[in-house]
Amino acid sequence: MYEKDGEQYFIVDAHIAFWDARPENRNRLGEGFIKCFYDYHRNLGPAEYLWPFEEKFVRYTEEDLMHDMFEVGYVDHAIFQPVYLGDFYKNGFHTPEMVAPIAERHPGLFTVNGTFDPRFGKKDLAHLESLHEQYGIKGVKLYTAEWKGDSRGWKLDSPEAARCLEKCQELGITNIHVHKGPTVWPLDRDAFDVADVDGAATNFPELNFIVEHVGLPRLEDFCWIATQEPNVYAGLAVANAFIHTRPRYFAQIIGELLYWLNEDRILFSSDYAIWQPKWLVEQFVGFQIPEDMQSELGVLTTDVKKKILGLNAAALYDLDVPAELDLVRDDAGSAAVGSEPLSPA
């Protein structure tokens, strides 16, 4: 919980990892992948939060995680979003199996999500069922640009992916987190294109599609999709970090999201351990869209910040929010800040 100026904020970090990128677990491609992560880490975050690469960034401890999240980071609940990357990391980069014991040791603090890859066919459906049976997963994290042999990606709106989404719906796995953002070397930029979210969201209206990294650098494409698909959400992982180095760019991002979606469909994420939540929470609570941009992009009210920082994710995952930290919402939900979402003529 974070408190400032008499206001209290329930914090849900909706996109974190606990990865293993040690030399013994990675090949040449895995080394390039984690070094690309580190470039984001050192170029966008404050110098005082910079981690040494080999000493802590490639593999950090459970103690680091608990300290950064809950002791100093203000987080009330965090959601593990796995990425297997089996072609780059021998035992996987960040898997549900790696983090489930941590969640068990700290009940109530973590949600463990699963994943699927439709290129594995029936084997993947069985794996999805197993993850649900073992960990009660409510969401999956998908990496459509992940390599598998000669394949350098897959499409969310493909028939093969539809079978996996049908299985998610059958099992009650309702939150579909999709990496659609900046390219991480050596993955292909076009494999992260947001276009395939459109058809999937239309075909599966009972599922929630959380587009992580808000489609950057394709923000406009994402917004035009999300404004017509009410089950599409914006995950702020990576985008959040621009609040430090490029505050006006961040104002443009958050302002566009508020205009095209609304404050109920935006989720805060630190993308730990690329960045730590402490400075992101502090800077977001203290942030305001510059006055000369407000006529088009609106303002960030305290209630809007509370929703983005935790209440929206809590609603998606049925998390218990203390009554004093929650907001009263009417049955119709909240009005959009900028305009009402577009609807077909």
Q: What pTM did the predictor assign?
A: 0.93
Residue 327 lies in a domain: no
Cα(260)–Cα(342) distance, integer angstroms: 8
CATH at 180: 3.20.20.140
Residue 275 lies in a domain: yes
Residue 333 lies in a domain: no
For residue 140, give the nearest of 174, 191, 98 by alpha carbon.
174
Residue 336 lies in a domain: no
Cα(148)–Cα(126) distance, integer angstroms: 18
Residue 331 lies in a domain: no
Residue 41 lies in a domain: yes
How far CA 67 is from CA of 40, 47, 214, in Å, comes to: 22, 19, 28
Mean pLDDT for back-to-back runs of 10 residues, the chain (345 residues): 96 98 97 96 95 94 97 98 96 96 97 94 89 95 93 94 96 97 88 94 98 95 96 96 96 96 96 97 97 93 98 97 83 42 41
Q: Is the peptide bond before 82 cis (omega within 30 degrees of 0)?
A: no
Distance from first CA to last CA of the chain, Å, rounded? 43
Q: Give me the domain span that covers residue 277.
A: 2-320
Count of domains for the chain: 1
* pLDDT, position 329: 60
* pLDDT, position 182: 86
Residue 306 lies in a domain: yes
* pLDDT, position 181: 87
DSSP state of 9: E
* pLDDT, position 160: 94
Contact 280, 291 (CB under 8 A): no
3-class secondary-structure state, position 310: helix
Residue 330 lies in a domain: no
* pLDDT, position 337: 36
DSSP state of 48: G
Cα(272)–Cα(241) distance, integer angstroms: 11
